[in-house]
Amino acid sequence: LGTLAGPVAAEIVTGEWNSEGAQFDMMDLVELVEKTFGRDDPTLAAPIVDGVADYGPVVRRIKERWGDATRQLLNELWPWVETVAQEALDIRGGTLTGEAIDALRPDGLPEGPGRNPMD
């Protein structure tokens, strides 16, 4: 979901899927999904057309399979996303550390992977 989050966030903001803007994220995601699920689900492996991988059908399948879950998660986290974005705009350099981002976390959000020693 992490690699899909950027393009889905852009879609939430603009109301449209930006195929060109999401191109490199989706290429990375297709490769990850192919390696993880491609053997078990051939619809998640890019067909080769004239020696070139056609990512289009796999991108559509990824959006169908994980797009709604990603959108739902982003909608739940959106107030935090807005807070972090505003904080980055307000500081010189626009770069926040992970600790600074965590400090902006609203109460009630679950801990993310890698942050909870029980994960």
pLDDT score for 20 = 86
pLDDT score for 88 = 92
pTM of the model: 0.69
pLDDT at 117 over 70: no
Q: What is the 3-state secondary structure (H, E, C) of 45-82?
A: CCCEECCEECCHHHHHHHHHHHHHHHHHHHHHHHHHHH
Q: Which residue has the higher pLDDT, 93 or 75?
A: 75
Instruction: Please give the Cα distance from 107 to 52 (Å, whole number).
Output: 48
User: CB–CB of 45/53 below 8 Å?
Assistant: no
Sketch the domain layout of the chain as residue ranges: 2-77
In tens, the pLDDT along 2-51 reads 788 889 989 998 999 888 888 888 888 888 888 888 778 888 888 888 99
Q: Which residue has the higher pLDDT, 98 or 114?
A: 98
pLDDT score for 112 = 62
pLDDT at 60 over 80: yes
User: CB–CB of 25/53 below 8 Å?
Assistant: no
pLDDT at 62 over 60: yes
Average pLDDT over the chain, rounded to whole? 84
Query: Which has the closest alpha carbon to 28: 6, 49, 9?
Result: 6
